[in-house]
Amino acid sequence: SAQDTLRCEPGETYTMNVMVSSHPYWIPVYQGFKQAAAAFGCETTFSGTPDYDISKQIASFEQDMVKQPAGILVHPMQSDPFIEPINRAMESGIQVATFAADSPNSNRTAYVTSDNLAESKFAAEEIVKQIGENAEYAVLENPGQSNHDLRVTSLISYMEDNYPDMKLVGRQATNQDSNAAYRATASILQANPNLGALWIPEAGSAEGAVAAVLEADADVLVMHADITPTTLEHIREGNIHMAINPNQGVQGFMGFMAVFMAAHSDVFDPFNDYKTSGYNPMQFPYIDNGFSVITADNADSFDLNTYMEGRDTN
């Protein structure tokens, strides 16, 4: 029966593969992945490379393949280099789905991600709601990291398209370094006494930016994406207006579902050509894991350290 089919065989393992594996972003994702796996009696492993190095991540992906897991949920550091390894894995019977970054030209069965455009659209609307549509704003950024880039560029173009009177007065690269963010924000504040809002695509820079805003005693609306304990506290205290956090748990949970379902696709016989064309019938071109808005009111639910109490990172 279907219920028996949708359970793991003993020893059936699913792997989640990432780059910069020590980054805290992966922690709730992997928790979601594990929780989903537990529900189906599956085993999981967490792998990848601690380095920001594509060769090493590919090597670790290939090593995962050596162990023949049932499926791999991968965060490909770059899309194209992963085409060949992902396809090879698929050919050897390992189902692969991507999350948070995609390899669209590969044969992966699914892609789970946050909608960065929706995030920045929400942020833009919130900024306009708070400071009006005739104001100055600035952004910090982290060039080269695609999701951060997207959060910044899409917010700017959304503003240009919908609120042409909003003026972008500062745009600084801070590369997730709180001290660099402190320096950049201090300068932006100097150069633009009428600055109304600051949009930051990640939390590391937000920590430094808030310090600068507080020091300059400036009345600037700070909003950022992702969350750290420190920015959370700033939200509680009202120094940061709000943060937008992707639903990492959903990302991991749905990521697991995607690979698991692909590995158990025999339960499914859809109305299409999969049999003759030979692809996996369980295809999800795009799953949006949604995002949460963190404000002073709900901040208590977003303390990762509290969440992780009694849970195992691996």
Partner 1 sequence: MNAETITAEGHHSERSFLANLLRMRETGLIAIILVLFIVMSFASPYFLTWVNMRAMTMAFAVEGIVVIGMTILLISGGIDLSVGSVTALAMVIAGWLFLNGVDPWVASGIAIACCTGVGAIMGFFVTRVGLHHFIVSLAIMVIARGICLLGTGGRPLGLYTLPPEFKFIGQGSLGPIPLVIVIFVVIVVAFDFLLRRSTMFRKVFYTGSNERAAAYSGIRTKKVVFLTTTLCSGLCGFAGIIYMARFGSAQPTFGIGMELNVIAAAVIGGASLNGGTGTIFGAILGTVLLSVVSSSLALLDVSVYWQDIIRGSILLAAVAIDHYFHKRTR
Which residues between 34 and 93 bind partner 1 (CB under 8 A)?
45-56, 58-60, 62-63, 65-67, 78-81, 83-84
Tokens of 179: 């001290």
Q: Identify the residue whose tokens are 């960065």.
A: 116
Q: Binder to partner 1 among 29, 37, 89, 211 (CB under 8 A)?
A: 211
Q: Binder to partner 1 among 107, 145, 283, 292 (CB under 8 A)?
A: 145
CB atoms within 10 A of CB 297: 11
SS3 call for 243 = strand
Phi, psi of 285 (to 5 degrees): -60, -30
Q: Binder to partner 1 among 113, 228, 251, 289 (CB under 8 A)?
A: 228
- Is-contact 15 64, C-beta < 8 A? yes
Q: Binder to partner 1 among 87, 146, 283, 292 (CB under 8 A)?
A: 146
**Residue whose CB is less far from partner 1, 35 or 78:** 78
Query: Cβ 118 to partner 1, closest distance in Å?
Result: 20
Going 203 to 126 to 117 to 295, the CA torsion angle's sign is positive
Q: Please give the Cα distance from 278 to 296 (Å, whole number).
A: 51
User: Restricting to residues 91-120, which ones interact with partner 1 according to CB under 8 A?
Assistant: 105
- Which of 228, 248, 247, 237 is closest to 293 using CA atoms? 247
Binding mask 242-271 for partner 1 (x = CB under 8 A): ------------------------------
User: Restricting to residues 274-293, which ones interact with partner 1 according to CB under 8 A?
Assistant: none
* Number of residues lying near partner 1 (CB under 8 A): 76
Buried b or exposed e, range 238-261, using 16+ CB within 10 angstroms: ebbbbbbbbbbbbbbbbbbbbbbb
**Residue whose CB is less far from partner 1, 237 or 273:** 237
Q: Binder to partner 1 among 233, 283, 288, 293 (CB under 8 A)?
A: 233
**Residue whose CB is less far from partner 1, 69 or 281:** 69
User: Restricting to residues 293-312, which ones interact with partner 1 according to CB under 8 A?
Assistant: 303-305, 308
* DSSP string of 244-312, one letter each residue: EEE-HHHHHHHHHHHHHHHHTGGG---SSSHHHH---S--EEEEE--EEEE-TTTGGGG-HHHHHTT--
Query: Cβ 145 to partner 1, closest distance in Å?
Result: 8
Q: Identify the residue whose tokens are 């639903």.
A: 247
**Residue whose CB is less far from partner 1, 87 or 130:** 87
**Residue whose CB is less far from partner 1, 79 or 130:** 79
Query: Cβ 113 to partner 1, closest distance in Å?
Result: 17
With a CB cutoff of 8 Å and minimum separation 6, the contacts of 202 are 142, 148, 176, 224, 225, 226
Query: Cβ 269 to partner 1, closest distance in Å?
Result: 32
